[in-house]
Structure 1
Amino acid sequence: MKEGIHPNYRDVVFVDLSNGFQFVTRSTVQTKETIELDGKTMPLVKLETTSESHPFYTGTQKSVDNLGGRVEKFRNKFAHLKK
């Protein structure tokens, strides 16, 4: 393996600002903030949303079916022309 071409991965704490959920993963992201976690000082990244708060992943997403209503309206309007 070539020296000096691979990124420097390290443990980073990501925090969901909407609910306070924290998780640690390895990343190359550069941050100015740090946090003390499990006796270690690690870089901190603040996120607006994660899988813990996003409606798609939590099952609270609402599906709006506008297309189905339009198709039915069209079919009803021109049903008399069908032979």
Structure 2
Amino acid sequence: MQPGIHPEYRPVVFRDKAGGLAFLTRSTATGTQTVEWEDGRTYPVIGVEISSAGHPFYTGRSRVLDTAGRVERFQRRYGTARR
């Protein structure tokens, strides 16, 4: 890597705004807020809208869509295409 052209890669805390999950990882992202982590050090915080703590797929609250039923209902309502 060439010196001086890459952003600084440092520890950052990502916090899910809805689910409350927070995890420490390394990133080039910067944040204006800081938080004292479990190890006693202070790290910048990046807020994320969704993570595995609140995503329906990972929490088991996802709905199964009946796509076959939708197609059949559409064909009953509007018929098949005439050429």
Mapping of residues 1-83 of structure 1, within 5 Å: 1-37=1-37, 38-65=39-66, 67-73=67-73, 74=75
> In the TM superposition, what is the alpha-carbon distance from 1:26 to its structure 2 partner?
0.5
Distance between the aligned counterparts of 1:71 and 1:23, measured in 2?
42
> In the TM superposition, what is the alpha-carbon distance from 1:11 to its structure 2 partner?
0.4
- Identity among equivalent positions (%) equals 49
Gaps of 5+ in 2: none
> In the TM superposition, what is the alpha-carbon distance from 1:55 to its structure 2 partner?
0.5
Structure 1 ranges of 4+ moved more than 2 A: 70-75
> In the TM superposition, what is the alpha-carbon distance from 1:70 to its structure 2 partner?
4.0
CA RMSD of aligned residues (A): 2.0
> In the TM superposition, what is the alpha-carbon distance from 1:47 to its structure 2 partner?
1.8
Distance between the aligned counterparts of 1:24 and 1:62, measured in 2?
31
TM-score normalized by the length of structure 2: 0.74
Q: CA offsets per residue over residues 33-58 of structure 1, 9 Å max, x none?
A: 00111211100112222112100222
Larger Rg: 1
Distance between the aligned counterparts of 1:31 and 1:70, measured in 2?
45
Q: CA offsets per residue over residues 5-52 of structure 1, 9 Å max, x none?
A: 222110001111222211001111121100111211100112222112
Q: Secondary structure at the match of 2:14?
A: strand
